Structure 1
Amino acid sequence: MSQSVPPSGNPFAEGAPQPPYPAAPAPAPAPARNNLGLGLVAALVAALVAGGVYGGIAGAIDRQIGWAAIGVGFLVGYASGKVGGSNPVLPVASAALSLGAVYLGQLLAIAIIVGKELNVSATDVLFENFDVVTKVWGESKDLMTFLFFALAAFAAFSGAKKSAE
């Protein structure tokens, strides 16, 4: 089926044959996401979950892994940006929450390692001897510990910025 083009060269000009089907409507614009409260809640939940997973992995293998700390940070940032939108507070809050998540994960890893050594539950070690766990963390921290913190914070900040776009 051929259609003729009017002499003006514009196939949509008046008098030009129209297609036999209606034109599809333009998609609705995406709703603006700028909900600081929901973004913070999403970041907090992601931080708790990611910190727990990070600690579980690190405790199971008796070492910390840099890419896992990056994953923790990115997950926290991604969740906050995806849910909360482009609010400028969210990348900063995500970075701070990712620091807490990595710290929580490191404490959990210590509790798991000590629990395996003493043949007791890691939760007992963590909750009944929290002061000892934090003291062990303080004595065992080194340059790599702070590098993991920096990587997590950077990943959270950039993850929040990227996912909000």
Structure 2
Amino acid sequence: MATVEEIEAYCRNCALRDFVNGKGLVCKRTGDLPAFEEVCENFEKDEVLEEMAPPKPEDFPVTKTREELLAEENLPKGVLYAVVASILGAAAWALISVSTGYQIGYMAIGIGFLVGFAMRLGRGIRPVFGIIGAALALISCILGDFFSFVGYIAQDYDVSYTDVLLKADYSELASLMLENIASMTAVFYGIAVYEGFKLSFRPQNQPAGGQI
């Protein structure tokens, strides 16, 4: 026959359980203490109680240790994708700016997202991933501004991009870019750098018991 502790643990999940003062846990069918060997043939699982119960550890996704996450990192892959994203982002910025005739500062926000998510493909958790992501986001913004000014000059003087790149006064061009950055564009640059850093890391579960 099962022990009192085993009966209580078993019957506690039964819809036919009841509690009587002086007796404790009893069976509704008999009004007496449950008595069975191992399994009660009249057991009815209490579905409501199960729904109210807190989740079990096995209900949560499997966590990984920091060492396992580090083993899955691929910095070269992240950098490669982020470099490609930064070049594409800068080209898109310049293309949109030149075609519209407006220097669109908030394009930097999109670049930050693009570079950060591209860097995330390296599945990194170390700070180096965020630092590189932030640096590439900043470089992409600067290149986007630079290509935009080159496009404006090429349009105004009806010359090719190559002529501008070969014959431009880079000190004057740098001065124009600094004036532009010193305006509200600097705020967008800052947002892009923040996004490039923050979004470069792989998503993680909350740390618990030495695991992530």
- State the TM-score, normalized to the length of structure 1: 0.73
Of the candidates 60, 72, 76, which is equivalent to residue 99 of structure 2? 60
The 2-side partners of 1:8 and 1:88 are apart by: 55
For residue 186 of structure 2, the aligned residue among 146, 150, 159 is 146
Q: 1:130 to 1:90 in 2, by over 3 A?
A: farther
Deviations 1:94-128 (A, max 9, x none): 11111100000001000111111000112331344
Who is 2:154 aligned against?
115
The structure-2 alpha-carbon separation of the partners of 1:103 and 1:137, relative to structure 1 and needing over 3 Å to count, comes to same
The structure with higher relative contact order (CA 8 Å, sep 6+) is: 1
Q: Structure 2: 5+ residue runs without aligned partners?
A: 1-39, 46-62, 204-212
Q: In terms of mean alpha carbon deviation, does 119-128 or 145-154 score higher?
A: 119-128
- The answer on 1:125 being equivalent to 2:143 is no
d(CA) in 2 for partners of 1:127 and 1:93?
30
> Which residue number corresponds to residue 78 of structure 1?
117
Indicate whether 1:136 and 2:166 are aligned.
no
**1:125 to 1:7, Cα distance in 2 relative to 1, 3 A:** farther
> Unaligned stretches of 5+ in structure 1?
11-28
Return the structure number with greater helix share: 1
Query: CA RMSD, aligned part only?
Result: 2.8
Match of 1:38 among 58, 77, 83: 77
How many residues align? The count is 143
Q: CA deviation at 1:8?
A: 4.6
Q: 1:130 to 1:39 in 2, by over 3 A?
A: farther
TM score, norm. by length of structure 2: 0.58
Secondary structure of the residue that 2:103 maps to in structure 1? coil
Contact 1:75 1:159 in 2 (8 A): no
Q: Percent identity?
A: 29
- 1:38 alignment partner AA: K
One-letter amino acid of the structure 1 residue matched with residue 119 of structure 2? S
Partner of 1:14: none
Deviation string, structure 1 residues 14-54 (Cα, Å, up to 9, x no partner): xxxxxxxxxxxxxxx9x964111111111111111111111
Letter in 1 for 2:199: G
Please report how far the alpha carbon of residue 9 of structure 1 lies from its aligned counterpart in structure 2 after TM superposition.
4.7
Shift of 1:133: 2.9
Name the SS for the 2:102 alignment partner.
Answer: coil
